[in-house]
Amino acid sequence: MLEVPFVTIRIFPYVAAALMLQALAGCSDKNSADNAAASPQAKVDAAPATTPAADGKLILAFGDSLYAGYGVGPNESFPVKLQAALMKRGISASVVNAGVSGDTSAAGLNRLAFTLEGLPRKPDLAMINLGGNDMLRGIDPAETRANLTEICEELHKRGIPIVLTGMVSAPNMGRNYAERFNPIYAELARKFGAALYPFFLEGVITDRALMQADSIHPNPKGVDIIVGKVAPLVVSKLESK
């Protein structure tokens, strides 16, 4: 089980960012969770990186602004750079960017089936990065857990392997919130046999040179570092099929 002791989460830029009301939506009031939940056909922030090759792997990157590529160029988002990293490792893969800025876990659950049905075929892997906006909005972790569980259950039912890229609670949310929120991803990973990268912004959020001015989203250099850490996990999960 992932242990994230409250006193050891030294992510001070995250504290400041979490206190900024304009950042609570994760990036976008236009793409608020309420709007996304009302419309399962909400547009993702970027198109698939490429058209999947018939003999290549198809990976779904399903999440919020951290996958969508908020604040970076079209070719600098996590899915695009992950695809390039996999290619360098000799893996022909297409990573579909299904990130929506501002999405909560509820909004993600609402659009999951629509997203899967819009793919050219069943993906070889689904990567999930949701929950950060839940935390910033102060949503009850029990609700986040329930929504992420339903997402994982749907993917499991369809026979789609899962990689979870987790989040941790900002310290200003309080110890009780952190103790309820932080274990969610590790527990779901165990339950569904998913690969887990415990904290998507690990090693990046504490370095201002790797973050955008909002202190929430990585800049292109930060994305590169995250991709370098996550890509081996993705490769391992693909090879374990």
Catalytic (active-site) positions? 65, 214, 217
Could you tell me where the DSSP H helices lie in the chain?
Answer: 12-18, 33-38, 65-68, 78-88, 105-117, 132-137, 141-157, 175-181, 184-192, 220-239
C-alpha 25 chain-centroid distance:
15
Q: Which residues contact 36 (CB under 8 A, 6 or more apart)?
A: 42, 100, 102, 103, 104, 107, 108, 110, 111
* Phi, psi torsion values for 222, nearest 5 degrees: -65, -40
CA distance 153 to 158: 9
